[in-house]
Amino acid sequence: MHPARVWQVLLGVMLAVSPVVAADSVGAVGGVAAIGPVAEQPARGCPNGYVALTFDDGPDAVTTPALVDELRRHGSRATFFVIGAKAAAAPEVVVLVRSEGMAVGNHTYDHPFLDELSEQAVTDELTRTSAILDGIAGPAPTLFRPPYGRRNAVVERVVRRLGLTEVLWSYDSDDYEEASVEQMVRQAEKATDGEVLLFHDGYRSTVDAVPQILDVFDRRGLCAGQVLPSATPQQAWLDYDGDDKTYYPAVAGPW
């Protein structure tokens, strides 16, 4: 049986046995520590809108569950753009992410420079990843993020043909460049309604920054939002001050 179907069957059994504790059961699969049911959270409004937290390059067996744990403690959710090869190697982590209500996006099969590939190779990167994710506790993703944000007309043509929504970002946390927790929090403080923040799985500093960033959102009347398709393109890389602006058709909104 295809690995994705195996996890689909397992999740169905878990839910049938006890919907209330499904998250506990799923979290224990494959050696990933269970994180338990989501605790009751104080009511919070979102008077100033939504900012999407997005995490690239997972799933990671250690830091992805830790990120999910921090998010659920706060009653928040995020979007994880996963690499197909890693998802195939650790489907139990994808199950965990989805069982806690997080969104999963396509981040290609092995993280290449897509703008250097042929149209067929780009297609293979995206369709292979979608096929892996289809059935691992959820359907094939509809969101896509190009590695390094590198894209061209060929990539855009493939994305349109496959019916995916390309998602870039407003501000980069620079966690992969060893940014400190304080630096990541300062980047998050710039974000306003509808914008998207970029982080990565795999860094303990990112896990440590998330609770502080969520506290910043609370103080500012913001909520961690969902990435949604937008008919009005949003500007990417707002820290970039060049004349050649880049836009993408997605926005942060309510779950």
Residues with catalytic function: 56, 200
Give the closest residue to 195 by CA, choosing from 176, 157, 167.
Answer: 167
Beta carbons within 8 Å of 215's beta carbon, 6+ residues apart: none
